């Protein structure tokens, strides 16, 4: 059975929210790690956060192109 465009749009929006939450958690981890003198490599975390944010933006843009959600 095929999913309706409204359901696909909602799935894209929900996934974007999950990616935003992941990005925020990763940013929090970066702050926590920087305040603690842990020997955990964090150099690549900012680029990963940007990548996650980019994916969330793409998902939201794709959902927006599908039009308004149904009832």
**Does a structural domain hold residue 23?**
yes
Q: Look at the chain and report how many structural domains it folds into.
A: 1
pLDDT mean over 28-51 = 84
Q: What is the mean pLDDT of the chain?
A: 89
Q: What average pLDDT does the segment 29-50 reach?
A: 83
Report, as an integer, the average pLDDT of 10-14: 96
Reported pTM:
0.80
Q: Which pLDDT band holds residue 36 (cuts at 50, 70, 90)?
A: confident
CA distance 52 to 31: 17
Higher pLDDT, 56 or 29: 56
Any domain includes 70 = no
CA distances from 39 to 35, 36, 48 (A): 12, 9, 19
| Stretch 17-35: mean pLDDT | 92
Question: Domain limits at 18?
Answer: 5-65
CB 61 within 8 A of CB 39: no
Query: Which residues are within 8 A (CB) of 56 and not within 5 positions of it... i.e. 6 or more apart?
Result: 16, 17, 19, 20, 23
């Amino acid at each position: 059975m095929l999913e309706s465009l409204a359901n696909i749009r909602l799935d894209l929006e929900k996934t974007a929210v999950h990616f935003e939450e992941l990005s925020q958690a990763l940013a929090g981890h970066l702050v926590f790690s920087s305040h603690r003198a842990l020997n955990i490599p964090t150099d690549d975390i900012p680029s990963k956060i940007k990548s996650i944010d980019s994916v969330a933006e793409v998902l939201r843009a794709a959902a927006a192109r599908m039009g308004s959600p149904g009832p």
